[in-house]
Amino acid sequence: MSPQGSSPSPIGPTLRVLPMGDAALLVEAEDIDAVLALDAVLGPLVEANDGVWAEVDDLVPAARTLLVVARPTTDLEALAGAVAEAAAWAGRAVPATDSPVVEIPVRYDGPDLEEVAELTGLRVDEVVRAHTEMPWRVGFGGFAPGFAYLVGGDPRLHVARRAEPRTRVPAGSVAVAGEYSGVYPRESPGGWRLIGTTDIVLWDVSRRPPALLAPGMTVHFVRDR
């Protein structure tokens, strides 16, 4: 792959890499599962700080991409080759069973809870059980500091975003939209459907790291009575 070229290079049957300027690569994947599998393989290589991986400063997962942020002096040709080699292992990776687990207590008092029940054909108590009984996984962050897109929950909870977003969503609001669930870390506008509230702090600048949730973590929602 030429860093200056515009054509993507294939990495296996479902991954490909594209240059992003002179100091990053964008790996396109089939879905979030493939992204997290690749992130799980690349993370230890970057932490080992050996060879071309010593030039990598950050890995940024998203819904179907993984951004590999390097330094301006990095040989992107060599880095792309290393990513391709790692991707072969990612395709055979066994899902980790020892990922950090975070429990989030929730009061299921959201203004959209009954509407979510109607949209899914579930009773309100079934919506709550569906949200709490299956574990969620942190796919990626975005939207606001500390906000995590959670994936892998009960597919019965897949609902569209609100047609008209709210201009104010309180901090701690627990919501669902599409295949995702999430917790608003601060007051902000938002179009997700609000099903509950939590007092847990998602973003704290005095904490290291400030974000409570990171990609690959497991999240269990627990009903707070």
For residues 94 and 189, the model is more confident at 189
CATH number, domain of 183, equals 2.40.100.10
State whether 117 and 190 are in the same domain: yes
User: What is the model's pLDDT at position 114?
Assistant: 97
Question: Is 95 within the bounds of a domain?
Answer: no
> Nearest CA to 132 among 181, 202, 200, 199?
181
State whether 62 and 167 are in the same domain: no
State whether 117 and 53 are in the same domain: no
Going by pLDDT thresholds of 50, 70 and 90, the confidence category of residue 1 is very low
State whether 30 and 126 are in the same domain: no
CATH number, domain of 37, equals 3.30.1360.40
* CA 179 distance to own-chain centroid: 12
State whether 62 and 163 are in the same domain: no
Does 85 have pLDDT greater than 90? no
Going by pLDDT thresholds of 50, 70 and 90, the confidence category of residue 225 is confident
pLDDT in tens, 155-176: 999 999 999 999 999 999 999 9
Q: What is the mean pLDDT of the chain?
A: 89
- The 8-class DSSP code of residue 136 comes to E
State whether 86 and 114 are in the same domain: no
Question: Is 96 within the bounds of a domain?
Answer: no
Least confident of 83-87, 92-96, 132-136, 207-211: 92-96
Does 90 have pLDDT greater than 70? no
pLDDT above 70 covers what percent of the chain?
90
> Nearest CA to 171 among 141, 209, 197, 134?
197
β-pairing, 166-169 with 101-106?
A: unpaired
pTM of the predicted protein model: 0.81
What the block records as the tokens of 89 is 């292992």
Range of the domain at 185: 101-223
Q: For residues 77 and 148, give the distance between their C-alpha atoms in angstroms, rounded to a whole number.
A: 32
Least confident of 31-35, 45-49, 100-104, 105-109: 31-35
Burial environment of residue 159 by CB neighbours within 10 A (0 to 12, 13 to 18, 19 or more):
buried
Tell me how many domains the chain contains. 2
Question: Is 1 within the bounds of a domain?
Answer: no
State whether 131 and 186 are in the same domain: yes
State whether 81 and 110 are in the same domain: no
User: What is the model's pLDDT at position 97?
Assistant: 52
User: What is the model's pLDDT at position 120?
Assistant: 97
